[in-house]
Amino acid sequence: VDLEIKVHMGKMPRHKNSHAKYILGDIRHRKYWLKALKGVNSVIHLAGAVGVGQSFWQARKYIDVNAGGTATMFDVIIHDAKLKSSIEKIVVASSKSLYGEGAYRCAVHGMLYPEQRTLSQMKKKEWEVRCPVCGGGTIPVGIPEEKPPQNLSPYALSKYATERLAIDFSYALGIPTVALRYFNVYGPRQSLSNPYTGVIAIFLSRMMSGNSPFLFEDGMQMRDYVYVNDVARVNVSSLTKGEGIYNVGTGKPHTLLDIVALLNKATGLDIEPFISGEFRPGDNRHDFADIGRLTRDFGTISFTEFDLGIRKLVEWSADARVKDLFEREERERKRFLES
């Protein structure tokens, strides 16, 4: 549980599991890992700092917590003969953010993994990705795990370091390990007062506060949204299935405009989005998962339909703490990243 003010207001959330054992500590410190790992035979390591944008002006913190905290866990394991022999499986949380721009197909040049769109292209409001070879149009396709990482943010780099540490130590220690590259996770218990928590929660908090969702570019950029319960099931399954790196998404992309329409329907509101035509350098145009490897090793997964997941999030939000901090976050971003 992340107890930062922006996530859970600095205190344990109301939905905490009364049957779970909680250890209040910092994953960068060995003593807390020694407590957490005592007597366990499997590890699902989800602890870390989250927030792509904020990682640019808190780079040291993100690298230190995510990469450093994971390195500390393995440092504890490798120096403890009992832990090395008792731990049978390790699962770590990675992120789709390490991919950078998505995967595309050109009618002439086939599969492409382009670099991020240029600043000059974005200033012309030419939002779609073009083939870097012929300059022609492209079609977005699911991102396979083989796509080379671009690591366009300190957060992405910290998650790439997390999974590389896990895979490398897996070989060194002989402990089967899984790194799960989560796409856009959403659902109940998501912080609605954290402007870095994800676009669905950000849009919902603005709409519940009577404000229009702010859409960059033209609102047609696509992402892969995966319901939190489905992610939890994959987490548990990974204790007995799979080894290596897996995308965790649905493989079905949705636009930002789709999200606004579904939120309006679920809430009974009728709030028009503000399509700004503005852009953020480094933003991807489209990204969604190729889940072929996941279904091959884990079996067919029945993912929650997007409209149902949105309805469940909205139902839960009726009793949630909501504070629209988007505009404050935007001011912070511009102060640090725009000259």
Is residue 186 part of the annotated active site? The answer reads no
| CA 191 to chain centroid | 14
What are the contacts of 43-47 at 24+ separation with CB within 8 A?
43/73, 43/87, 43/89, 43/90, 43/91, 44/91, 44/235, 44/238, 44/239, 45/70, 45/73, 45/90, 45/91, 45/92, 45/93, 45/166, 46/93, 46/235, 47/2
Catalytic residue among 155, 160, 196, 227: 155
Largest CA distance in the chain: 60
The neighbouring-strand residues paired with 130 are 137
Residue for token digits 């469940």?
A: 312
Residue 19 region by backbone torsions, left for phi larger than 0, else alpha for psi between -120 and 50, else beta: alpha
Annotated catalytic residues are 155
